[in-house]
Amino acid sequence: MAISFPASPTNGQIYAEANRVWQWESASNRWNAYGSSLAQRVTVNSTAPSSPGVGDVWSNGPVVSVWNGSAWQPAGVDHLALIYIGVS
Q: What pLDDT sits at residue 30?
A: 80
Q: Which pLDDT score, from 0 to 100, does residue 35 have?
A: 62
Instruction: List the domain boundaries for the chain.
Output: 14-87
**pTM > 0.75: yes or no:** no
Whether 12 and 40 have beta carbons less than 8 Å apart is answered as no
- Non-local (6+) Cβ contacts of 65 within 8 A are 48, 57, 58, 59, 72, 73, 74, 75
Per-residue pLDDT of the chain (88 residues; tens, 9 = 90+): 567 888 899 988 888 776 677 788 888 788 877 764 444 577 888 899 888 877 778 888 778 888 888 899 887 655 554 454 444 4
Given a contact cutoff of 8 angstroms between Cβ atoms, the answer to whether 15 and 78 are in contact is yes
